[in-house]
Chains A and B, each alone.
Chain A
């Protein structure tokens, strides 16, 4: 790191001023004016004599994602040198499109040898990765005569998920009971924007809903009703059991990773729905349904960091009954489930059917990890095909997806709206 030196020479001009004042004082025999000149020269000499700082500044940045969709950034600035730094100014390199919500990324202080100060502020959690510049540090001497500035390496500089959410088309799953999914309107009257019908006025109807023009025309009071709007609730269930840890070839992308990709596409594609997440590992890790930017950031974080989705699975497959019970207990009454699984064992197909017959609409998104080379592989392929057929026969829509990424599969199957 090289420090760029700027000499401000703030007090240099005092010397000529003193050189004017002193003779004037002497000639006019006014000691006060001479002493005035002495003070000026004294201050200039002090500035000249103060040692230039020898900065040894260490910066360390930390990010902490919070549940409210913001990121707390802390930047620790430490004086590692043996001399005190009388005047340190630090500006953290916040990317231009990151909004600072609280606190300030700037610091002005003096740092004794070995001392440190921490700068804390919050930024909005970005949709995709942002790179922070190294903090800009200015160190000045006691009198401010010399300034040294440099960008000091601060370690962590990348903020955001390793992978941003994809720009997926809106996706429609099964029509939930009471109306189709999405930002769409239901069939019954209620709160909303789209006109539904006009009915007779009933006592207690809000005045704003009364059709006053009809009242003026006919003298009858009537009330306008609107189509009820609903935000459907969808819980994405990602199968991360050991049985789902399969791939076409040892070096191919695993079915679990395809399922996570599909889940990421669904988080964006179901932007108008309340989306929850359940990861089936040895147990169920549950993120309750919600909407909004902060919630999507949380889902993205869960999909990126959930141990069951990141590490290779351990232990045996969990029993289906407790999984079904847990899912049924946690899923809200009007929610539907979207099960993301390679469908490589009977247990998960049973789970889907049991949940569906239990009254929770289920749809299945299934990346196909099977191949047809070799008799064993062919058998697995056929068995999986039978499972897909059985589920479809039971009225559960299955997106059977062999090639390409999740968004293409949704588009091909006509699930993308």
Chain B
């Protein structure tokens, strides 16, 4: 039996506690999104700024900083499309950005509520759900686009309609 360590995150042996697992997950996802966005110099700059803001907002619990970081990350990934990225890669980047934002939010909540509990399993399950949902939506959207067989403006209009409907549902 080891002596109790005052250091947070080391009390349960090697298992990380509190917000640590969620932060690590968010970091990996944010780096993936940055990697996707790094096809143009402005895109890279925006993505790095987004990751930094997301990190700062997580460490100092600034919700607005976090949201700004998340929005910048998403914007950087979308901007990558103008740099000639294929659509699946852009969608992958979007999913990674959303997972990063989810991880960051979860890290802050868990660190505030249960700083000493082992949270890795819970974080993997819950953020895994976000990952699966985002991936499924991305797959469906991409499938609909391919079925629309490349007539971009028409497909875009159709998808916009779907998006508008979902927005209405979400805002209701």
Q: A29-B152, A108-B110 are in contact. Are A35 and B167 (CB under 8 A)?
A: no
Interface residues on B, range: 35 or more
A34 touches B105 (CB 8 A): no
Give 1 or 0 for each of A1-37: 1 = CB within 8 Å of chain B CB: 0000000101011110111011111101111111111
Q: A18-B163, A38-B141, A43-B134 are in contact. Are A91 and B113 (CB under 8 A)?
A: yes
Q: Give the chain A neighbours of B41 by CB distance below 8 A.
A: none
A87→B121 CA distance, assembly (Å): 11
Q: Give the chain B neighbours of A108 by CB distance below 8 A.
A: 110, 113-114, 117-119, 122
A21→B73 CA distance, assembly (Å): 13
B105 touches A15 (CB 8 A): no
Chain A residue nearest in CB terms to B155? A31
A32→B152 CA distance, assembly (Å): 10
Interface check A142, CB cutoff 8 A: yes
A31 touches B152 (CB 8 A): yes
Q: A43-B134, A108-B110, A144-B109 are in contact. Are A102 and B1 (CB under 8 A)?
A: yes
A35 touches B145 (CB 8 A): yes
Whole-angstrom distance between the Cβ of A124 and the nearest chain B Cβ: 11
A87→B124 CA distance, assembly (Å): 12
Q: Which residues 85-125 in B have Cβ within 8 Å of A in the complex?
A: 85-87, 90-91, 94-95, 98, 102, 105-106, 109-110, 113-119, 121-122, 125
B166 touches A42 (CB 8 A): yes
Interface check A86, CB cutoff 8 A: yes
Partner of A100, one of B4, B17, B113, B138: B4
B163 touches A32 (CB 8 A): no
Whole-angstrom distance between the Cβ of A139 and the nearest chain B Cβ: 11
Partner of A41, one of B110, B152, B167: B167
| Of A35, A45, A104, A105, most B-chain CB atoms within 10 Å | A35
Whole-angstrom distance between the Cβ of B57 and the nearest chain A Cβ: 13
Interface check A46, CB cutoff 8 A: yes
| Of B94, B102, B136, B152, most A-chain CB atoms within 10 Å | B94
Chain A residue nearest in CB terms to B90? A32
| Of B122, B145, B172, most A-chain CB atoms within 10 Å | B122
Give 1 or 0 for each of A69-111: 1 = CB within 8 Å of chain B CB: 0000000000000000011011100000000111111111110
Whole-angstrom distance between the Cβ of A141 and the nearest chain B Cβ: 10
Interface check A377, CB cutoff 8 A: no
Whole-angstrom distance between the Cβ of B88 and the nearest chain A Cβ: 9
A17 touches B163 (CB 8 A): no
Give 1 or 0 for each of A316-352: 1 = CB within 8 Å of chain B CB: 0000000000000000000000000000000000000
Whole-angstrom distance between the Cβ of B172 and the nearest chain A Cβ: 8
A23→B160 CA distance, assembly (Å): 8
Q: Give the chain B neighbours of A40 by CB distance below 8 A.
A: 74, 94, 98
A7→B75 CA distance, assembly (Å): 26
Q: Give the chain A neighbours of B75 by CB distance below 8 A.
A: 17, 21
Interface check B52, CB cutoff 8 A: no
Q: A26-B156, A89-B113 are in contact. Are A33 and B81 (CB under 8 A)?
A: yes
A24→B156 CA distance, assembly (Å): 11
Interface check A196, CB cutoff 8 A: no
Q: A32-B91, A104-B17, A107-B117 are in contact. Are A38 and B126 (CB under 8 A)?
A: no
Q: Which residues 104-159 in A have Cβ within 8 Å of B in the complex?
A: 104-110, 138, 140, 142-144, 147
Q: Could you write out 20 A-B pairs with CB less than 8 Å apart?
A: A17-B75, A22-B160, A29-B153, A30-B82, A31-B145, A32-B78, A35-B87, A35-B94, A35-B138, A39-B94, A39-B138, A40-B74, A42-B136, A47-B170, A48-B169, A89-B113, A102-B1, A103-B11, A108-B114, A108-B122
- 10 cross-chain pairs, A with B, having the tightest CB-CB distances, nearest first: A42-B137, A106-B117, A32-B81, A104-B116, A32-B90, A106-B114, A38-B141, A41-B166, A108-B117, A32-B87
Could you list 17 further interchain pairs (A-B, Cβ under 8 angstroms) beyond the known A8-B109, A35-B94? A13-B70, A26-B157, A31-B145, A31-B156, A32-B91, A35-B91, A39-B134, A41-B163, A41-B167, A43-B130, A87-B122, A102-B1, A104-B12, A106-B116, A107-B117, A110-B122, A144-B109
